[in-house]
Structure 1
């Protein structure tokens, strides 16, 4: 079963299949890219789980495999909360995730999953937003909703909360940085409840009971950007999570919009810089709608499929002779591409991919966002 493109839609998993997928995803050192490689190599989560210990030991250390009991406890917590899990390839899983191999292969969700198949715009900005920024955000969100766009954001204070609130009646998706049972910030708990009760959707890739940490917010920002055709920054300081979201959106081929602000307001420093760097100027929703129209029409013509999908991953092969040693020697603390390793060592792409996978599972290798890899010293 190949999952690299995420095209197999509409097949509901059994409970045991969902548990196995979540066990694999929750196991130590198994990120989204590694998860997809394991499923493609072994044909399913159960077989991948059986192979994990040997693969990691070949990479240099033992790893912890997620306990089935702990995963079943997550399912129990989800049921009590009124949430469900959705795996890549199932109904109710975001089709836009197919365009990014770093997207989570399993999510927990509450609310209406039909919103995943509608065109969406992400709106992000400052937590300490100005009154004019909040007012403008609500206008953008309401107008975009009236034009048929779902509004996606990260449930934070300020701009995020204003965007969700204005789009509740037309459709909004909120992305958690922690578990679905760990609302953050707590003062937005009532807003989150309204989103679910009034036809919106909340999602998380983190375990139930997981309190969000600093490094979880960039991961959440990536999900926000991935779900949308474009991302609008209303207010953002020079150093802010919104600029991370904009960078990710740009990397994914999404359109990035920014609202200009006063040079005297530090909350506009980041958004003004985005405009200098090539973001699309937006002063009203019509600016966003007009720019997104070609992408939206193209998506609709493909039957609501995602944007361009990643290529199918390479087939794995056992290294021959001294290939494993040559691959080890080619790796270092400076990131290099797999193609360069193949060219330098003369090993097959499949052999290089397998050794990289083993080292990654052992926690000895880091995979960069651009696909390059480096040894952790």
Structure 2
């Protein structure tokens, strides 16, 4: 089925070598995340100009000293090291950058891709679940992934122990994508390096937004999970206890507008508690591949349109009184951006600019659903 689907996008991108260096420098600089990156590019017109303005913006946000700005030398070294490892750094819209991931507001400006680029352009279903999986859960994950692969879908997962590795192993021949929490040279868990090598050699791929040498930390896994759901038409959760990482992936998938599927389990098994709750909350009950295929077929018939750049303007330089009022409204409890704009009694452009300054100063945290808070 997947081979017959023509994924279309409304626009394509191709960075020059100089632009790729500048983009890499900007996204690797302190306190610059994907959303901040796009705001800077949109406002200043280029990464090079944005790099020149970073110290001033951070100072206006209250930084004691300027954050580290990635040097051209470091960026060139990372590109060279990536090339030696077979990793290509791609921008949204370039061939090999997963089209559905490119539609997200927080899509990585540069994604490290290793393996078969065409695999990432095919329809993808994510399969995730418990690391401490039951034998039945492992068997079902393998069967489902194999059946979906035979129907033309690529299987994405996080290369973790348990359900993830079962999904990868069952779909090696049909195509599978490993989404990494660390750099391409810092595979976790280490014992899955052979599995990663096998899936890449068989026509699969691995992706990461992290720089080489980055060893994954606990906070990197939720960030990785948004990529697992972001590349996919939908996410199947096979087993998940309460408060598990797989439920985070399911929540993010719903926020991204992806289909969420859950495999029911015994009420007596804590590994099924999370998936049973997902079904109660409206996830599609899944007992076979047809449940997934029937739900995503209508989505596959619609062409993919890349996200338009954020056209919300920034202000040139907010007044001190506006900045003080906005900062006073912020605190450790997350607040909706729309509520903040309304309470501040000023323009959206001024509020967005102050938030950008605070973020570059390392004082602001962005949460899902348009929420922000002071650190």
Give your verdict on TM over 0.5. Answer: yes
Question: For 1:313 and 1:370, how far apart are their aligned partners in 2?
Answer: 18
Q: Secondary structure at the match of 2:217?
A: coil
Structure 2 residues not aligned, in runs of 5+ = 1-8
Post-superposition offset of 1:325: 3.3
The 8 Å contact of residues 237 and 275 in structure 2, kept in 1 or not, is answered as yes
Question: For 1:13 and 1:212, how far apart are their aligned partners in 2?
Answer: 28
Post-superposition offset of 1:12: 2.5
Match of 2:244 among 240, 246, 249: 240
Question: Could you list the per-position Cα deviations for residues 314-347 of structure 1 after superposition, in whole angstroms to 9, with x for gaps in the alignment?
Answer: 1112335743333333333343333333333332
Match of 2:283 in 1: 279
Question: For 1:21 and 1:207, how far apart are their aligned partners in 2?
Answer: 13
Match of 2:151 in 1: 147
Q: Secondary structure at the match of 2:369?
A: coil
Post-superposition offset of 1:208: 0.2
Match of 2:34 among 32, 35, 43: 32
Matches within 5 A, 1:190-205: 190-205=194-209
Q: Which moved more, 1:68-77 or 1:37-46?
A: 68-77
Match of 1:317 in 2: 315
Question: For 2:256 and 2:324, how far apart are their aligned partners in 1?
Answer: 35
Question: For 1:373 and 1:146, how far apart are their aligned partners in 2?
Answer: 43
Structure 1 residues not aligned, in runs of 5+ = 1-6
Match of 2:359 in 1: 360
Match of 1:66 among 63, 70, 85: 70
Match of 1:108 among 109, 112, 119: 112
Q: Secondary structure at the match of 1:250?
A: helix
Question: For 2:109 and 2:10, how far apart are their aligned partners in 1?
Answer: 13
Post-superposition offset of 1:310: 6.7
Match of 1:3 in 2: none
Closer, same or farther in 2 for the Cα pair 1:325/1:222, shift >3 Å?
A: same
The 8 Å contact of residues 123 and 152 in structure 1, kept in 2 or not, is answered as yes
Matches within 5 A, 1:217-366: 217-298=221-302, 302=303, 304-305=304-305, 309=307, 312-318=310-316, 319-320=318-319, 322-366=321-365
Post-superposition offset of 1:120: 1.1
The 8 Å contact of residues 9 and 90 in structure 1, kept in 2 or not, is answered as no
Post-superposition offset of 1:87: 1.6
TM-score (norm 2): 0.92
Question: Could you list the per-position Cα deviations for residues 322-373 of structure 1 after superposition, in whole angstroms to 9, with x for gaps in the alignment?
Answer: 4333333333334333333333333222122111110111011222212132
The 8 Å contact of residues 9 and 91 in structure 1, kept in 2 or not, is answered as no
The 8 Å contact of residues 21 and 87 in structure 1, kept in 2 or not, is answered as no
Q: Secondary structure at the match of 1:257?
A: strand
Q: Which moved more, 1:105-114 or 1:87-96?
A: 87-96
Question: For 2:206 and 2:106, how far apart are their aligned partners in 1?
Answer: 20
Match of 2:3 in 1: none
Question: For 1:337 and 1:264, how far apart are their aligned partners in 2?
Answer: 38
Matched pairs, number: 364
Match of 2:44 among 18, 26, 42: 42
The 8 Å contact of residues 98 and 310 in structure 1, kept in 2 or not, is answered as no
Root-mean-square deviation (CA, aligned residues, Å) is 1.9
Question: For 2:30 and 2:291, how far apart are their aligned partners in 1?
Answer: 44
The 8 Å contact of residues 338 and 372 in structure 1, kept in 2 or not, is answered as yes
